């Protein structure tokens, strides 16, 4: 069928550009994985080396022209890296939450010891009490577990020394400490804890580990104030409010972090494009990413603008490549291709090529090639042509179109037919050429919607 056709052209050059863009995204994913792993203390040289080796293998696919396989494998590799980083982040958050729980237990047990230690303290007891007070206050001390073990030992010995000066509560605690592994007891929680505190510790650990101490600090101050509140009813309400605010903050900062990372990656992709290094949009993005209190809506809006700019630039580059490929292919079949035709096609939306071997006839290339879809058809350039000759020309064009597809295929491009009409299904479109330019006649013709 060689009446009017709607075709789609995918060139080797645009497939290469897609592959190179994918590899650049992979490089950014690897760099982010490495940076975050180091920051979290989760660096894994074995995984890093394996990832770099895999990156070399993917580059070899590009060199060996395994382009379709490369387009499948790179997204899988990116997904693996992102999933691995997420696991490492969760492991770091869990570790931080456990540390907060341990520190809370140390403070609670130190407070219990301070209440349980007998009166009439010795000079050694004074130093012990001071150390316990530092632990209760959350201050940093060397080996707090050893200090608590010393306090437990002091309480146990006091119980044995003088039954008159030691209260029943002190004696019960001392008996509980008669174990070969006091450190295990120290690490456990022996108070009736507010269950919401575990959730709060988890949220605080997440905010501090993933988004920085400055994000968690206001909530930490609120928690400290709540723990000092002696009114249980009000304390419970304040804890409920804190849990809700921490949950909302965790969701917000997760979304913000993802949007900022996406914006940073998009900016890198846009910056690498020809003529885009000094784009005003990139300046806006840099200002947004530098903000101490970033606006998530602005981040999303800039990401949308950046994506559109990348798509527009990719579309322009791919369209130029497609126009050039079609014109060069037809030139190799004997059609006259003149300087400026590519620009004329881009400006006018179509261009007509003539061939010396078939005077009075030509081929029209139409359609906005940014989408990859084009319209091709044989056309008449003279009112004097007869319908029988028109059908012969369409038959000739049928063979030439097949040769054009073969030529493009040899170059690694693919020309596929999406819609077509048969030979003679409609009269040839009449186009009158004025110098190097074409204008349609008022004669009837049928087109195919693109």
- 3-state class of 336 per DSSP? coil
440 versus 225: the higher-pLDDT residue is 225
Residue 249's pLDDT band (boundaries 50, 70, 90)? very high
Helix ranges (DSSP H) in 272-419: 280-290, 296-332, 341-348, 387-410
If one compares 172 and 104, the residue with the highest pLDDT of the two is 104
Which whole number is the average pLDDT over 147-155? 78
Distance CA 256, CA 119 (A): 55
So what's the pLDDT on residue 88?
96
Q: Tens of pLDDT along 301-313? A: 999 999 999 999 9
pLDDT band at 192 (very low <50, low <70, confident <90, very high): very low
Residues 6 or more apart in contact with residue 218 via CB below 8 angstroms: none
Q: Do the beta carbons of residue 353 and residue 337 sit within 8 Å?
A: yes
The phi and psi torsions of 433 (rounded to 5 degrees) equal -85, 135
pLDDT beyond 50 at 83 = yes
Residues 111-136, mean pLDDT to the nearest whole number: 75
Question: How confident is the model at residue 386, as a pLDDT?
Answer: 78
* More confident of the two residues 318 and 2: 318
Which two tokens mark 212?
A: 């920085």
Give the pLDDT of residue 144: 82
Percentage above 70 pLDDT, the chain: 85
431: pLDDT strictly greater than 80 = yes
Residue 415 has pLDDT above 90, yes or no: yes
pLDDT per position as a tens digit, 29-65: 999 999 999 999 988 899 999 999 999 999 999 999 9
Distance in angstroms (rounded) separating the CA atoms of residues 10 and 319: 10
Residue 145, pLDDT above cutoff 70: yes
151 compared with 4, residue with greater pLDDT: 4
Q: Region 98-103: what's the mean pLDDT?
A: 87
The CA distance from 102 to 105, in Å, is 5
Q: pLDDT band at residue 188, thresholds of 50, 70 and 90?
A: low
User: Which of 147-151, 375-379, 383-387, 438-442 is the least confident region?
Assistant: 438-442
For residue 63, count other CB atoms closer than 10 A to its CB. Answer: 7
- Predicted pLDDT at 16: 94
Residue 445 pLDDT > 50, yes or no? no
DSSP code of 339? T
Judged by average pLDDT, the poorest of 76-85, 154-163, 428-437 is: 154-163
CB environment 376-411: b (16+ within 10 A), e (fewer): bbbbbbeeebeeeebeebbebbeebbeebbebbeee
Average pLDDT over residues 401-424: 91
Confidence of residue 447 (pLDDT cuts 50, 70, 90): very low
Distance CA 205, CA 227 (A): 18
Tell me the three state secondary structure of residue 70.
Answer: helix
Instruction: Kindly state the greatest CA–CA separation across the chain.
Output: 129
pLDDT value at residue 96: 94
pLDDT-derived band at 401 (thresholds 50, 70, 90) equals very high
- For the segment 393-411, the average pLDDT, to the nearest whole number, is 92
CB atoms within 10 A of CB 228: 8
- Is pLDDT above 90 for 106? no
Q: Which tens digit of pLDDT belongs to each residue from 342-399? A: 999 988 889 999 999 998 899 999 987 677 789 999 999 888 777 788 888 988 998 9
- Any residues with CB less than 8 A from the CB of 261 and at least 6 apart, and which? 32
Higher confidence at residue 40 or residue 102? Answer: 40
Q: Which two tokens stand for residue 63?
A: 């060199």
The percent of residues above 90 in pLDDT, for the chain, comes to: 54
Q: How confident is the model at residue 162 (pLDDT cuts 50, 70, 90)?
A: low
Q: Which residues pair with 416 in a beta bridge?
A: 8
For residue 443, the model assigns a pLDDT of: 37
Question: What pLDDT sits at residue 120?
Answer: 60
């Amino acid at each position: 069928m060689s009446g009017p056709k709607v075709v789609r052209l995918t060139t080797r050059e645009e497939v290469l550009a897609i592959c190179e863009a994918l590899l650049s995204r992979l490089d950014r994913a690897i760099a982010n994985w490495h940076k975050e792993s180091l920051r979290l203390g989760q660096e894994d040289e074995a995984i890093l080396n394996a990832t770099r080796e895999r990156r070399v293998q993917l580059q070899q696919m590009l060199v060996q022209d395994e382009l379709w396989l490369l387009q499948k494998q790179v997204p899988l590799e990116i997904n693996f890296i992102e999933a691995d980083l997420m696991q490492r982040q969760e492991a770091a958050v869990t570790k931080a939450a456990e540390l907060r729980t341990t520190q809370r237990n140390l403070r609670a047990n130190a407070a219990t010891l301070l209440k349980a230690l007998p009166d009439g303290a010795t000079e050694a007891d004074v130093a012990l009490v001071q150390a316990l007070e530092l632990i209760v206050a959350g201050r940093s001390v060397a080996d707090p577990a050893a200090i608590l073990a010393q306090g437990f030992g002091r309480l146990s010995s006091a119980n044995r020394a003088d039954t008159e000066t030691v209260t029943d509560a002190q004696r019960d605690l001392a008996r509980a400490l008669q174990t070969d592994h006091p450190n295990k007891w120290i690490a456990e929680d022996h108070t009736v804890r507010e269950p919401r505190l575990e959730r709060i510790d988890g949220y605080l650990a997440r905010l501090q580990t993933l988004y920085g101490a400055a994000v968690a600090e206001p909530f930490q101050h609120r928690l400290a104030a709540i723990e000092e509140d002696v009114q249980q009813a009000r304390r419970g309400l304040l804890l409920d409010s804190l849990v809700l605010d921490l949950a909302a903050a965790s969701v917000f900062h997760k979304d913000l972090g993802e949007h900022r990372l996406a914006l940073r990656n998009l900016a890198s992709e846009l910056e690498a494009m020809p003529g885009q290094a000094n784009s005003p949009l990139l300046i806006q993005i840099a200002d947004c990413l530098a903000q101490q209190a970033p606006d998530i809506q602005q981040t999303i809006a800039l990401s949308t603008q950046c994506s559109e700019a990348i798509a527009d630039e990719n579309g322009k580059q791919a369209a130029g490549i497609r126009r050039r490929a079609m014109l060069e292919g037809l030139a190799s079949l004997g059609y006259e291709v003149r300087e400026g035709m590519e620009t004329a096609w881009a400006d006018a939306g179509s261009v007509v090529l003539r061939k010396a071997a078939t005077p009075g006839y030509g081929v029209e290339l139409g359609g906005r090639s940014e989408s990859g879809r084009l319209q091709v058809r044989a056309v008449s350039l003279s009112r004097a042509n007869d319908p029988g000759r028109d059908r012969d020309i369409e038959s000739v064009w049928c063979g030439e179109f097949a040769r054009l597809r073969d030529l493009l295929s040899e170059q690694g491009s693919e020309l596929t037919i999406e819609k077509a009409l048969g030979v003679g299904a409609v009269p040839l479109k009449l186009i009158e050429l004025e110098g190097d330019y074409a204008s349609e006649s008022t004669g009837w013709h049928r087109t195919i919607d693109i």
